[in-house]
Structure 1
């Protein structure tokens, strides 16, 4: 048993950790004390293994850092990054414990600068143009007077205020439905597509305005998204695109049925001027009143003329009564004359009928019928007797020449399996089946040999 030397100085207790523990503490320290960062740099050493994760180095002129972007995040990136591409990353700082490598875990990636957005804009524009989404043949006409307008925009932006102000000034009786959406940011495109789908599902609107106020290219980018362009193209309801200011052009403007330079202009385009229409109605009202006055004046003149020619009803009734009496007298006379004529015809027909009494003719016909019946019976009996005699002679003759009688004397008749009489051995071959008819019964044989 060892004992400590009281003269030997005591060493402090050591807190020893493993390399794994060190790296774990370093990782936890980095991830806990450093929030999400935006980092810009150039991609190099890009690797894309079968797992679907991305590994690369982000560098600038003086330094570099390793990066990892896992599959559930990189699936949201529109295009796979290229070697040397300048990108902007949103990432959190971490450490790969296995090698002790300091690295960035990337949550979001985009091409750095507006130049990248412009290139993406031109690429999508060319693609959709080639597919025919900009073809004027697919543009739907706007209704002359919309019955219900739908507006897809931010409910708190200046665009909706401008649109409602113009609609209230030009034609306030048209109902307006607002489909609230975000008009910038990552969620905006999906909300715009959903609003277009809902508006088409409800089918209450016959015109849609999609848009927002002005902003940078990045602010307006949701209206350059492919999903938004295809949703506008697929809409059964006509769509007006009103995005930004007059100088701003988006993919939505190309695909929409009508492009308005501003949201206020969209409200102008889709509605008639209510004051002008009201003035037209006042003019039509004056014309209608003048036309009705002229028609009433002509009707009054015709009424006066008819009144002067109008006869008192008593006079017309007396004339009609006299005419009715004359018709009654003539009817009675005609009925009397017709009855006399019909009586004379009836008496003549009765006399003629008596002269043609059928009893005498019937007795003669019955006598003749009895005579003919007797002759028919006699003739039938004679014919039957003659036929029986002829039948007996024919039967005797048939028996005398019947081959069956020949069979009774020991002769036979041979046929093939089809019933054809065989008259020569040349008609047979070895293996054929033949049938021999005897006086009583028949015999079936197989040919084993033939000869002349």
Structure 2
């Protein structure tokens, strides 16, 4: 008896019918190692195979599902897939139509972070040569954090105590949630564009890995790298490390430590300035002492000799001036004396008493009138006769004219 003849298509179609109709094969969980992975650049579909030590099975993840992957699948990666077993009728092969894919033994988030780290490291985002030193004396510090978080208050308290002269510029952002990477990157770009600060602190308090995962974002890493102003990253606690920390110029274990670090360079600068001031003061004191010694040793004798010479010269000039003044005074005195003698002689010549001394007398009546003519006398009249050394009274016996 001859069996029913079947075409290849009929067999493949039948197998597809059997497999697709088996409820056990509609949803299966398969563990295996990825091999031959490729992503179609045009369609976005992912094609690969899963293998273990004995077998291999083909798999496909269509673009509509693949777009939600939180990491990039790689060859050699052990994964757990949720899939349906289907038959590709044209080739007569069966495969896994993958609906979900996660790393096996390691979380998808951790894998995604490690992949992003490797990518950014290869691009030079974490290069030490790119790290910028903190400014010595910052005038303005921009703080990117939540306006309601404890991190902001910790930073303000420490900066207010250690650097009260510094202006703090707050950029209030979401520090968790889907908006966090966009907000932080936008704040950094604004600070970079307008050069609003001398230093930047990105801060967030502690939390779970789920809370901190938004700082493991390439957008933040690129914005930190492109910022021309030094950035301190202080996300989470000391044991929490994010991609933002790797990209930053300096990592602080906590927001409080970030504020301390922001002021540490200023403290070092101030200390250095105090040391330099002290050294300069001592150097000046030494120079002053040495100059003083040289002055007493060399300059003062010269100055003393110069002063002595000057005193002698002034003394000589004084003697000359005194002699000249004495001559002038003597000449003036002699001239005045001669003039006085001449005046005295003239006065003496007209002085009536000098006439009396030569033997003459002045006669006057009893009323004191001087009698100058014989006609003014009356016989029997009493007259006063003024001599050189006194007066006498006489009575006129008679008069006689000449």
* TM-score bracket for this pair, using the shorter chain length: 0.3 to 0.5
Higher Cα radius of gyration:
2
